[in-house]
Structure 1
Amino acid sequence: MNIANETPLISIIIPVLNLSRPINPKRFFMPRQTIKDTLADIEKNVRIPHEIIIVCNGDDPELKQFVMSHPQVTRYCINSENVGVARSWNMGAQLADSKVLCYLNDDVSIGVGALESLYEQLLADPKIGEIGPSGSFWQDCAHYEYAEGDKPIDVDAVLGFCFLMRSSTFHDLGGFDVNYSPAGCEEIDMSYRIRAAGLRCVVDTQAPIKHFHHHGVSAYKVDIRYLGKTIDTLTLHERNTAYFRKKWQNIFP
């Protein structure tokens, strides 16, 4: 099936910091997925017509050259510095030309039929605000259990490494909250906003999608540079969870 010249049904939005993902020294033995691998998975396994939008953050010259010359990349944004996840996702949505947005980490493996299944489930029910392969249940603005099971299930929050939503939902809700920059809780915040709007957050844990999270910046303590500032991941987590709780504790107890 040749999908190169078909109108895209999904806009796959991928923020990227580095061409070669840094290794977590405490998990050096764990497999590592990079943007090269993720694009190869998409080319091999995704058959639904799609476009790929890369939001390139930071000062990695090899990454910029890779993104600008890669034949799979439909559209890209080259930022002079790291603008954070929420802004990157917002930028990607503004560049998208499809009615469905797929937000994808650059360290995620996509299996055969995964995005097609999530896409079909999303569009089958207008009450579904977002859908992904992994999610969790929250109480008192705190996570307490991950979703499991062999059937799609409603959750309190869909995890941010891969999820789909309608472009209209994104625009109706005003995009992602950039107060969480550079990263952390922005996807949980969006799930709460989706539920506050009366829509469902759904996960299908049977979708063949795998997140190689062990080498992500949230997996260990490290300094993150963004917008001319620096913050370590522990301080960032404490700051963002406090902001999240203050924003939602009186709405979703």
Structure 2
Amino acid sequence: MRISIVIPTWNQWAVTERCLQALARHTPQPHEVIVVDNGSTDGTPQMLRSRFPAVRLVQNPVNVGFPRAANQGLRAASGDLLVLLNNDTVVTPRWLTCLIRCLEEAPQAGLVGPVSNAVSGVQQVSVAYASLADMEAFATRFNGPDPSRWRQTVRLAGFCLLLSRRLYGSVGPLDEAFGLGNYEDDDYCLRAIAAGYRVWVAGDVFVHHDGSASFRLDGDRYRRLLARNRALFLRKHGLRRYRWNPDPHLAAWLPGSPRRVVDVGCGLGATGLELMRRGVAEVWGVTWDPAEARIAGRLLHRVVLVPERTGLPPGEIGPFAGAVISGGLDEFPDPVALLARVLDLLEPGAPLVVQVLNEGHYSSPRFRSYLPAGLPAPEEGVEGVPVRRLRLDEFLGTLLRLGLEGIEVGTVHAPPPAAVEPAVRSVAAQVAGPGEHPEQVYADLCTWRFVARGRKP
């Protein structure tokens, strides 16, 4: 079996050289390396020819973007397995062995990626190394085939992506409409899922990633690129929102491992996958979004599409041994009616986990006048539904009126970015009442959501 490794580059020769040196050290399998250079002006093509003559070089006169360069490399590849690799990565001992095993053995695996130090979502792991030498020692201990550390996901970051030629033939090339790059990897994952494949994180292999070294754009240009490509991605897939990351708070708060759980407002199925990873045998999803239903329906036991956000199906789909409301009560026009319908689907004594936006978070309208314009806030709600925030006493009152037993409440914190932390602390000092310490008020201002669980009587 032969592997083709495709690396798009644009300047940054020192970074590319480091990547190629690591590949030479840690890739004993038969392989070819294809570098697609996007018009580098720092001597990258010349250095490649002189120092790495075995590397196949494809040259573009200008920067055509990551997706197009990756496609050029994939078309030139001869391998049975294909790897897309950013040039700002450093592969580690047994990296490819672990990725290949996951691709070959995980159910319906089509795309596989490692964990890393600088990546979003479930691929992110905490690391403590201070140098690349320390990193390699860490990875030597960390890496090793271990299926118990594999996890299914909705989305992989494209910094290091293993795919089979069969999947490539079925799904096709990356979408070059994403220009310089960003969201082409998200798009590819959803296309793979729609084609019947599963997307897996090989949690038993670590690959170092500098993080966004390929994008040396100024902050404003990079933000515009992200906004443009996100809008393109949502339009392409017919999505009004993009919830690809599981909600760990909801999954962790569901006690035990109920055999059959319904996830209301299931999104693309990410939280449902997390529930299954934690031992739930059967997860059903409920959504009002046909685009979400198409993806989640590939991943969960069954997904029920309902026309209205309060119009949950009648009880014939139940009873369930547990329920989570992934979207949060803030996404529903009538939260009380929603909760009542969900309770109807549950067995007596079954747990329900739900969350809601905190009316007292610093990003809420009541505090906006105190803070700098354009303050980034945590994602909230969906288009077409007014954002609904509750105070803790209002949230508890709603749950008590429905008769939930054994109610417990926790908090999810979202502190401000460093640039606006002083302004939020100033707000805390201004709104603190008699006997209230500003530090406690600041902590309250950083409480983004309340999460609660209770049992059906």
TM-score (norm: length of structure 2): 0.45
For 1:152, the equivalent position in structure 2 comes to 150
For 1:194, the equivalent position in structure 2 comes to 192
1:45 aligns with 2:34: no
Identify which of 34, 47, 60 aligns with 1:66.
Answer: 47
CA distance in 1, matches of 2:12, 2:216: 18
CA distance in 2, matches of 1:126, 1:205: 15
CA distance in 2, matches of 1:69, 1:175: 31
Alignment-mate amino acid for residue 62 of structure 1:
G
Identify which of 92, 95, 108 aligns with 2:76.
Answer: 95
Q: Is the 8 A contact 1:85 1:182 kept in 2?
A: yes
Q: Deviations over 1:41-93 (max 9, x none)?
A: 11111111111000000241511102233336431201000111111111111
For 1:26, the equivalent position in structure 2 comes to none
CA distance in 2, matches of 1:244, 1:73: 37
- RCO higher in structure (CA 8 A, sep ≥6): 1
Give the helix-richer structure, 1 or 2.
2
Q: CA RMSD in A?
A: 2.3
Deviation at 1:19, TM superposition (A): 3.5
Deviation at 1:221, TM superposition (A): 1.6
Q: Is the 8 A contact 1:131 1:202 kept in 2?
A: yes
CA distance in 1, matches of 2:210, 2:230: 23
Correspondences of 1:81-120 after superposition (within 5 Å) = 81-120=62-101
Identify which of 206, 211, 215 aligns with 1:213.
Answer: 211
Correspondences of 1:154-169 after superposition (within 5 Å) = 154-169=152-167
For 2:291, the equivalent position in structure 1 comes to 251
CA distance in 2, matches of 1:154, 1:126: 9
Deviation at 1:220, TM superposition (A): 5.6
Deviation at 1:134, TM superposition (A): 3.7
CA distance in 2, matches of 1:98, 1:160: 19
For 2:9, the equivalent position in structure 1 comes to 16
Describe the shift of the 1:168–1:116 C-alpha distance in structure 2 as closer, same or farther (beyond 3 A).
same
Deviation at 1:170, TM superposition (A): 1.3
Identity, in percent, stands at 26
CA distance in 1, matches of 2:212, 2:72: 26
Describe the shift of the 1:218–1:126 C-alpha distance in structure 2 as closer, same or farther (beyond 3 A).
farther
Deviation at 1:115, TM superposition (A): 1.1
Q: Secondary structure at the match of 2:204?
A: coil
Q: Is the 8 A contact 2:115 2:205 kept in 1?
A: no
CA distance in 1, matches of 2:151, 2:47: 38
Alignment-mate amino acid for residue 252 of structure 1:
E
Question: Which protein shows a greater Rg?
Answer: 2
CA distance in 1, matches of 2:155, 2:54: 29
Correspondences of 1:113-152 after superposition (within 5 Å) = 113-125=94-106, 127-134=108-115, 145-147=121-123, 151-152=149-150
- Equivalent pairs, count: 217
For 1:229, the equivalent position in structure 2 comes to none
For 2:280, the equivalent position in structure 1 comes to none
Alignment-mate amino acid for residue 17 of structure 2:
K
Query: Does 213-222 or 87-96 show the bigger shift?
Result: 213-222
Task: List alignment gaps of at least 5 residues for structure 2.
Answer: 126-147, 240-289, 294-457
Describe the shift of the 1:198–1:116 C-alpha distance in structure 2 as closer, same or farther (beyond 3 A).
same
Task: List alignment gaps of at least 5 residues for structure 1.
Answer: 1-7, 22-33, 136-143, 223-231
Deviation at 1:169, TM superposition (A): 1.2
CA distance in 1, matches of 2:212, 2:8: 18
Q: Secondary structure at the match of 1:252?
A: helix
Deviation at 1:191, TM superposition (A): 0.3
Correspondences of 1:176-187 after superposition (within 5 Å) = 176-187=174-185
